[in-house]
Structures are given as structure tokens and as C-alpha cells.
Amino acid sequence: MSLRESLDRSLHGRLDDVQGDAGYESGEHPPRMGFFTDTSVCIGCKACEVACKEWNDVPDDGYELSGMSYDNTQALGASTWRHVAFVEKPLHPTTTDLGLPGMGPPGWDTADSGGAPSAPAGEDQATASGGASDDAGVRWLMSSDVCKHCTHAACLDVCPTGSLFRTEFGTVVVQPDICNGCGYCVPACPYGVIDLRKEDGRAFKCTLCYDRLKEGETPACAKACPTESIQYGEVSELRQRADLRLAELHEKGVDVARLYGRDPEDGVGGDGAFFLLLDEPEVYGLPPDPVVTTRDIGSIWKHVGAAAGALVAVGVASFLGSRR
């Protein structure tokens, strides 16, 4: 990418042709593909995590018991490209306020007899979270998180080697043969998705199964999802589908339902992988209002330039003083 080209890139705001913005010939590239993850039908089976690991040959990340509900995966990372979050919260927090949301011992579950917390079995999770269920003392949310494949991707913007690139499908992918492990993408991501694999030295994250997409196949996680919580397709179509689902849930009285990452006007220009959530994003470990850092790159360079000018002035003044 030439300097001129990188100056011409749009850095934030709405962008309808991400591939065109990245230099693909307009009209020649396939449509932008992505995920719509409808967490209201997620059952927490983790088939997506397993399918992702298997297909992409991602190394294991250790066996660690986290104490965080059924979530021993804990977070997205270099070797975790799908992560199912489990949120357990008491339905009436005032009666059992232990001070630590979600960290409750089995005692939280009033129906608990055999040790395992009982899920609102057989019930639509959305309904349970609406507060209708009274046999379970716990509201249980599950959500399969993934790289957002942002419209304005900070990881891609800051990558100094060009290893991270925008594919013809509008997704963001690392080229392992180019990455030199500088780690700049890691703190740049506003969602905390990408990370360096320690033993390898390079950065890794979800590729949205680039290899499968090129063959016209569905990404492994979406293929494996038994409830169609993870839906794969053209982003424009997924957005319509998400709007319909949201309207349907609101009609049913599930007021807590909201879309996350669907708005093309948000801080990252909308996500290629977006979600329907049943609580505030931060409850799932997602930032409530993420912004691509490079939105401010103009201001950053302006201040860097001014400070360099100040340094020159300090230098000049230091010598002028001696000629008095």
C-alpha cells in the first residue's frame, strides 16, 4: 500500500463498500460477508468453539477451571477464536447480593439440590431473562463471541508490516508469513480480540474461515451451531434479519433485547460480526461504545508535529542564549 493510498482511506464513519475502500475494484468483488450472532437462542453448547479449533487447527490453550459459571474458556485470544460467555445473575439481586455479580456459589440457585445450577430448562432463554421464570433463581445468558471484523479495523490500520489485510469478503485476516510479532494490533483492538501466541511469537485471530469462504463454504462455527444462533451470510442481509428478529422479540415483550455492532454509524463503522444481546454489552465483557483509535490519527499527528516543533524551538533557544 502506498502512502497516497493509505491517506485516501476513510478512517471512521459509515462506509458502504469496505472492499472498495481497501482497493478492490468496485463491482468486481464478492459481497461483504459476516456473522449475526443471535444470543437469545444460544444454548451454550460450545460446538462453535470446538468446530473452530478443529477446522483451523488452533492449538489448545490449557485446561483451567475458572469458576466463572460454565465458562472455562474465559476470553478470546490468539488460540481462542470463538468464546462462549456464560452470565449467571440472580433474578432478584436484592435478596442475594453477595457484592460480586456473577461470581456466586451454587447457593445462589434456589432450586439447587445436586450441585449443578439448573438452567431454565426447555424455556426460551429470552423469556427467562425477561423475568417470567420463577422456578430458577438465576438468569442465565450465553453468547458466542468472535472477532468483529470491523468496518474500520484498528488492528489492520496499525499493522506496520501489512500482515493484516482486508479480504475480498470484507473480513480482516492476518497473514502469518508476514507478521513479525510487533504486537501493535493487540492494544489497538477496542474489543480485546487479537493477541500474540507466546510460543509462536506472531499474532492470531479469527479469519472468518477465509479458506472456507473462498470455496463458498460456511465458516466452521456457523456450520456447527445447532440452534442457528450463529448465522453467516451477506452483512447487508444479516442486518435486515437482525432488525426483524429484534422487532419480533420486542413484540413478545423482551424489552432487554438490543443489537450490538449493527449500526454502520457507530465508533467502528459497524461490525462485520454483530450480535443480538439481552443485557448491556459490558455484562458480556464487550465495550459499550468502542471507537477505532485511528479516528483520532489526524489529531495525534498534529500534536506530535507541534511537539516536535516545540523541541526545535527549545534547541534553537538554547543556543541563541549563549550569544547574548
Partner 1 sequence: MREASMVPEAEFESYYGRQILKTPTWKTPDVPLYLFLGGLAGSSAVLAEGAALSGNHALERVARTAAAAGAAAGTVFLVHDLGRPERFLNMLRVLKITSPLSVGSFILAPFSALSSAALASHVTGRLPWLGRLAGVGAAAFGPPLVTYTAALVANTAVPAWHEAHRELPFVFAGSGASAAGGLALLAVPVAQHGPARRMAVAGAALELTASELLKRRLGMLAEPYEQGRSGRLMKLSSRMTAGAAALAALGGRSRAVSAVAGATLVVASAITRFGVFEAGLASARDPKYVVVPQRERVRAREAAKTQGARTV
Cell match 474500520: residue?
A: 152
Options 25, 57, 265, 289; binder of partner 1; rule CB under 8 A: 289
The answer to whether residue 283 forms part of the interface with partner 1 (CB under 8 A) is yes
Q: How many CB atoms lie within 10 A of CB 191?
A: 21
Q: Which is nearer to partner 1, 201 or 253 (CB)?
A: 201
Report how many residues bind partner 1 under the rule CB under 8 A: 85
Restricted to residues 103-122, the positions that interact with partner 1 (CB under 8 A) are: 103
Helices (H), the chain: 3-8, 18-21, 47-56, 125-129, 154-158, 185-188, 210-214, 220-224, 235-251, 297-320
Indicate whether 98 belongs to the interface with partner 1 (CB under 8 A): no
If binding is defined by CB under 8 A, does position 274 make contact with partner 1? no
Q: Where in 155-214 is the site for partner 1 (CB under 8 A)?
A: 157-163, 178-184, 186-196, 200-203
Instruction: Give the number of other CB atoms < 10 A from CB of residue 286.
Output: 20
- CA nearest neighbour of 67 among 105, 40, 117: 105
Stretch that binds partner 1, among 96-104, 106-114, 222-230, 236-244 (CB under 8 A): 96-104
Cβ atoms of 176 and 58 within 8 Å: the answer is no
In whole angstroms, what is the distance from residue 28 CA to residue 62 CA?
43
Tell me the closest approach of the beta carbon of residue 146 to partner 1, in angstroms: 15
| Three-point CA angle 265, 267, 268, nearest 5° | 90
Burial 194-233 (b: 16+ CB within 10 A, else e): bbbbeeeebbbbbbbbbebbeeeebbbbbbbbeeebbbbb
Instruction: Return the number of the residue (220 or 286) whose C-beta is nearest partner 1.
Output: 286
**Residues 184 and 160 sit within 8 Å (Cβ to Cβ):** yes
* Distance between CA atoms of residues 104 and 68, nearest Å: 9
Q: Which stretch binds partner 1 (CB under 8 A): 50-58, 110-118, 221-229, 301-309?
A: 301-309
Q: Which phi and psi (to 5°) does residue 280 adopt? A: -60, 145
Q: Least Å distance between CB 281 and partner 1?
A: 9
Residue 159, all three cell numbers: 499493522
The least distance separating partner 1 from the CB of residue 87, rounded to whole angstroms, comes to 7
> Which region among 130-138, 152-160, 213-221, 245-253 touches partner 1 (by CB under 8 A)?
152-160
One character per residue 226-265, x = contact with partner 1 (rule: CB under 8 A): ----------------------------------------
Scanning residues 46 to 85, which ones bind partner 1 (CB under 8 A)?
66, 68, 74-75, 77, 85
Minimum distance of partner 1 from residue 220's CB (angstroms)? 23
Minimum separation from the CB atom of position 260 to partner 1 (A): 12
